[in-house]
Amino acid sequence: MADLLTLKRSRMPGRFERPGAFHFVSYVALLAFVVWSFQGAGWSFSALVSGGPALVDFLSRAWPPSLERLPQLSKALLETFQMALAGTLIGIVLSLPLAILAAKGLTRPSMLSRAVYTCARLLVALFRTVPDLVWALVFVISVGLGPFAGTLAIAVDTIGFCGRFFAEAMEDVEKGPTEALTAAGAGRFDTIFCAVVPAAMPSFITTSLFALEKATRSSVVLGLVGAGGIGIELKVAMDFFDYQLAMTIILMIFVLVLCVERLGTIARSRILEGSSQ
């Protein structure tokens, strides 16, 4: 009987410990900060409820979608995907050398290598933290309106995105092959491209596919500032209250993003299956 009671007690889940005074005050402060953030964000249940009829009115006026300008919209949608694909490829190519410089342990320990590492990390952080819409505005000013500005903005944003994850993937690679090549007399360049990069390649590919999905969604928004693509068509349709045309554009964007994400999911599953074998 005693053994049975001991077994039951051992299977009982542990209870929450009573927090101390410091932790209790921290939790209360965190909760107050969350409530304050909702207030600062203008969250209002009454506005949400009162906006329901306006949303229903928009949907009723937007349905059925208009198919009058479908050929022109298809061309703009294709331009959007071309921007995303070209910008992603450029960003991936340029992010690899930057990621090598921003990864710990890939260069010889010296004052110069630490300075290069710090600069590379700061550059990746800059590209990643500045929104792609801001980069689009910068490139619209520098190279003018059109898809080229959007492609450059996507490329810079992809460098920040892939540069960070490429560097982390190379840092997480098993050190055994690299140490073996170094002991055999291989140079630093040889160890990176013969041991580190091949081992991190599955992660590189999956990150690149995620970057393409991200760029496809971003390229739509970039058109709102004149950086090419179908985004400008959506803005014009909304400005002129042509909700049926706007619904057509929204559905086309949805199909494009859905197809890209589906193809990316299939490719990632194939890559993971191949790397596990």
| Neighbour-count burial of 129, counting CB atoms closer than 10 A to its CB (0-12 exposed, 13-18 middle, 19+ buried) | exposed
Reported pTM: 0.74
The band of 184, judged by pLDDT with boundaries at 50, 70 and 90, is: low
Is the preceding omega at residue 53 within 30 degrees of 0, hence cis?
A: no
* pLDDT more than 70, % of the chain: 76
What is the residue whose two structure tokens read 């990643």? 128
For the segment 113-123, the average pLDDT, to the nearest whole number, is 79
More confident residue, 14 or 156: 156
What rounded mean pLDDT belongs to the chain?
A: 76
Q: Record the tokens describing residue 177, joined without a space.
A: 């092959």
Q: Record the tokens describing residue 27, joined without a space.
A: 């939790």
Amino acid sitting at position 23: H
Q: Can you tell me the distance from the alpha carbon of 123 to that of 4, in angstroms, rounded to the nearest whole number?
A: 62
Nearest 5°: the CA angle 174, 178, 183 is 140
DSSP 8-state secondary structure symbol assigned to residue 69: T
DSSP 8-state secondary structure symbol assigned to residue 63: -
pLDDT in tens, 128-171: 888 888 888 888 888 877 788 888 888 888 888 888 888 888 77
**Cα torsion angle, 121, 123, 124, 130, sign:** positive
The band of 255, judged by pLDDT with boundaries at 50, 70 and 90, is: confident
Could you give all domains of the chain from N- to C-terminal order, each with its CATH number? Answer: 69-276 (1.10.3720.10)
- φ, ψ of residue 110 to 5 degrees: the values are -160, 170
* Entry field: residues in the chain: 277
Q: Can you tell me the distance from the alpha carbon of 80 to that of 68, in angstroms, rounded to the nearest whole number?
A: 20
For the segment 51-61, the average pLDDT, to the nearest whole number, is 71
How far apart, in Å, are the Cα atoms of 175 and each of 117, 164, 180, 206? Answer: 19, 20, 9, 22
Nearest to 189 by CA among 128, 101, 260, 272: 101
